[in-house]
Amino acid sequence: MPKQRDISIDIVKFLAVFLIINSHADIMYLKYSALATGGAIGDALFLFCSGYTLFWRGTNRFDNWYKKRISRIYPSVFACLFLVILVGYLPANKLNIYKILGGEFIIAIMIYYVLLYFVQKYCIQHFSWVVTTVVIITLIAYCFFPYKVETGSKGIYGITTLFRWIPFFCMMLMGAWIGLKVKGGILMVKTKWTDAAMLVLCLTVFYGIQFMSKKNTSIAPWQILTLPFLAGIVYYFWRCCNAEVLKRLYSTRMGRNAIMLTGGLCLESYLIQFYLFTDRLNWLFPLNLLIVTAYILFMAYVCRCLARIFSQTFRTEDYQWRKVFEI
């Protein structure tokens, strides 16, 4: 089967890159650190895109299927670690198994892949039951979640617990299911103004509840209600990325190259960004944000090239240097 491409996913990944980078850039915002947001949305969009084409092909043996997921992700993980150790951003003695495995986000994705394999193989005809099960597990887990009040200041998506990775699985499920419907011609998308309106509404409620939780900690436990609106943000964000104006931009050579290059660095930019944020350029604010973001993308590209070299090194075929550096 020839490889199919959905340009809306390229556009979603392109925008997700900047949301994820921005959410971790608080030290560069000076007194405007509240603007360093969008991480939960960026992560959810990344997971949506990761699941979108996952069901496009049938399942083969699990070991071979999972091997392809590993060969896509872990060369980039190892290349990133090699690069940051080489240039001195990470002392070699600080390397640990947690970093080698890619951190909690990558570990969560690799677990999601296992679950999605069995969903596709055994539960695809009962997909609604799978989603219902995840929702029930999420609610039960939240009932025993011990940090409900603390989320008022830290946010339910930013605290150092693993709870958020339970509902985040639904974002990958949603991507896989919608991708399957689009591929089968069941879901035809034509962006309407109502999609943008619904996106704004979901964003308003999503951030509104969290803002009120910071002002009044008694409201903090109700942040669980933001989850369906986060799903709505992801869905309507994707629908808006099908807009004709964006497709026309994508059809230009410059637009296509920028979108594909940046979107293609979604994984690598996530992996390497934490080592590159700095407050040394804060005297240039807000230009420091642009400079550091550009540096992150450049280093992410270097990381991706190294990852491709690593991948080709452990294959029997000859090196294909053009593929190493291509967009």
Tens of pLDDT, residues 267-319: 999 999 999 999 999 999 999 999 999 999 999 999 999 999 999 998 888 89
Do residues 80 and 272 make contact, with C-beta atoms less than 8 angstroms apart?
yes
**CA separation (Å) from 282 to 20, 56, 278, 286, 292?**
20, 45, 8, 8, 10
Do residues 70 and 51 make contact, with C-beta atoms less than 8 angstroms apart?
no
Residue linked to tokens 């070299």: 309
**What is the average pLDDT across 198-204?**
97
CA separation for the pair 160, 64 (Å, rounded)? 34
Do residues 305 and 325 make contact, with C-beta atoms less than 8 angstroms apart?
yes
Alpha-carbon radius of gyration of the chain: 20
CA separation for the pair 94, 268 (Å, rounded)? 20
Contacts of 166 (CB under 8 A, 6+ apart): 134, 137, 138, 141
**CA separation (Å) from 90 to 96, 97, 179, 227?**
11, 14, 38, 35
pLDDT at 2: 40
Residue linked to tokens 């090194």: 313
Q: How many CB atoms lie within 10 A of CB 186?
A: 9
Do residues 6 and 53 make contact, with C-beta atoms less than 8 angstroms apart?
yes
Higher-confidence residue: 218 or 177?
177
Q: What are the φ and ψ backbone dihedral angles of 3, each rounded to 5 degrees?
A: -70, 125
CA separation for the pair 12, 8 (Å, rounded)? 6
Residue 4 has pLDDT above 60, yes or no: no
Amino acid at 146: P
Q: Report CA dihedral (113, 115, 117, 121) to the nearest 10 degrees.
A: -170
Do residues 83 and 127 make contact, with C-beta atoms less than 8 angstroms apart?
no
pLDDT at 159: 63
Contacts of 291 (CB under 8 A, 6+ apart): 281, 284
Looking at mean pLDDT, say which of 3-12, 160-169, 204-213, 225-234 comes out highest: 225-234
CA separation for the pair 229, 217 (Å, rounded)? 20
54-63, 73-82, 113-122, 285-294, range with the lowest pLDDT: 54-63
Residue 281: alpha-carbon gap to chain centroid: 27
pTM of the complete model? 0.92
**Percent share of the chain, pLDDT over 90:** 70
Q: How many CB atoms lie within 10 A of CB 175?
A: 28
CA separation for the pair 262, 109 (Å, rounded)? 21
